[in-house]
Amino acid sequence: MCSRRCCVTLIDRNGLPVTDPWLYQQQDAPLVLAERCVIRLEQWDEYLSQFGAPAQGVRISGEQDPAGVLALLAQLEVIVIDFAKSRDGRGFTLARLLRDRHAFAGDLRAAGPLLPDQFSMLLQCGFTSLLAPATVPLVRWQDAARARLQAQARPRTLLERLSLSNEA
């Protein structure tokens, strides 16, 4: 069975809630064919053999080895990376790896007990959206997006500019 995830809200890169067109396959429920369905990586082969077509979205945990998803990147529109805890940084590393090293161009979506303070880092690592927990007021995500834009707009000190030019 697929669900629309009633206890989370899809937040875009501007910190705004948006309509989520994706259905999320529940782990223990029977597989359901849906045009825009996100399944767990472990369900990939079963979904493909049962329906004869690949799913367009996959869900992995930040602790999973990315090797299992690399061969599927060209077929995927969305990858959801689950964070087990807000202080677990493996999801950030996995996102960076998928974007930079493997050139995944689709929607990279974060999920789990994330905090608005992490919003800027999520975007820097390549995430384009997140499934925000209902425990965090939506206005906090908008504030985080605004703070990120203000930080980008502020003038950089000479030391910051020199350190950036040395990195290039």
For residue 5, the model assigns a pLDDT of: 52
- Residue 29 token pair: 């429920």
CATH number at residue 115: 3.40.50
State the Cα torsion 160-93-122-130 to the nearest 10°.
Answer: 170
- Residue 158 token pair: 């000479």
Q: Which position has the token pair 């974060």? A: 110
**Tally of structural domains, the chain:** 1
145, 13 contact by CB (below 8 A)? yes
Distance CA 144, CA 120 (A): 7
- pTM for the whole thing? 0.83
Q: What does the mean pLDDT of the chain come to?
A: 87
- Residue 128 token pair: 């384009």
Q: Is the pLDDT of residue 52 over 70?
A: yes
User: Across the chain, where does the E strand assignment appear?
Assistant: 2-3, 8-12, 23-25, 37-40, 57-61, 78-82, 107-111, 129-133
CB half-sphere exposure, 47, CA atoms < 13 A: 25
pLDDT digit string, tens, across residues 106-159: 999 999 999 999 999 999 999 999 999 889 999 998 888 888 766 665 677 778
pLDDT digit string, tens, across residues 79-104: 999 998 877 889 999 999 999 999 99
Structural domain of residue 59, as residue ranges? Answer: 2-167
